[in-house]
Structures are given as structure tokens and as C-alpha cells.
């Protein structure tokens, strides 16, 4: 079966050269969302106003997480290569 060249109908996939940005973007979005939600619940409980408090914390967390991830990912890849045998 041929792989689709679209993310959704009418929206083409990005060229492969964007992978080094897309992967840390998605990773930082997911990780910062999870960690900020846990921290927000721990700090204030499941109280009214959780969603806006969490979204504020998430925005701040992601604005830090994405650039940091772009900086440290090459270092982490090199360390991983030192610790793991090549296939």
C-alpha cells in the first residue's frame, strides 16, 4: 500500500528536512503539557479554574522547553551514541 503524501486531505506532509524541528516541537509540546498539568494539580488540586491555570503554566513551560530541547538534543544524541551499540 502506498503511503499517503498528506497529513489530512488537502494538507501535504512537510519535507523531510523539517524533521529536526518537528520532532522536538512535538516532544516539547507533549512533555510540557503532561509535566505542567501534574504540577498544576499538585499545587492547587482539582479546583475550579484548573484549566486556565494549567494553560498558563503550559504556555510558560513550553516556551522554555522547546528552545532548551533544540539546544540539548544534539548533545543527548551524542551521549546516546556513546552508550548504545550501532545496529
Dump pLDDT digits (tens) for 39-83: 999 999 999 999 999 999 999 999 999 999 999 999 999 999 999
pTM: 0.81
In angstroms, the CA 19 to CA 12 distance is 14
| The three three-digit cell numbers of residue 67, written as one number | 528552545
> pLDDT at residue 1 above 70?
no
Residue 84 pairs in a beta bridge with none
CA dihedral 29, 34, 35, 41 (to 10 degrees): 140
Q: What is the pLDDT of residues 15-51, one digit of tens each?
A: 999 999 999 999 999 999 999 999 999 999 999 999 9
Amino acid at each position: 500500500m502506498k503511503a499517503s503524501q498528506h497529513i489530512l486531505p488537502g494538507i501535504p506532509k512537510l519535507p523531510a528536512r523539517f524533521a529536526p524541528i518537528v520532532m522536538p516541537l512535538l516532544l516539547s509540546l507533549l512533555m510540557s503539557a503532561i509535566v505542567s498539568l501534574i504540577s498544576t494539580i499538585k499545587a492547587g488540586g482539582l479546583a475550579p479554574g484548573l484549566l486556565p491555570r494549567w494553560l498558563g503554566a503550559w504556555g510558560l513551560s513550553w516556551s522554555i522547553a522547546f528552545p532548551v530541547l533544540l539546544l540539548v538534543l544534539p548533545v543527548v544524541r551524542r551521549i546516546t551514541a556513546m552508550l548504545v551499540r550501532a545496529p
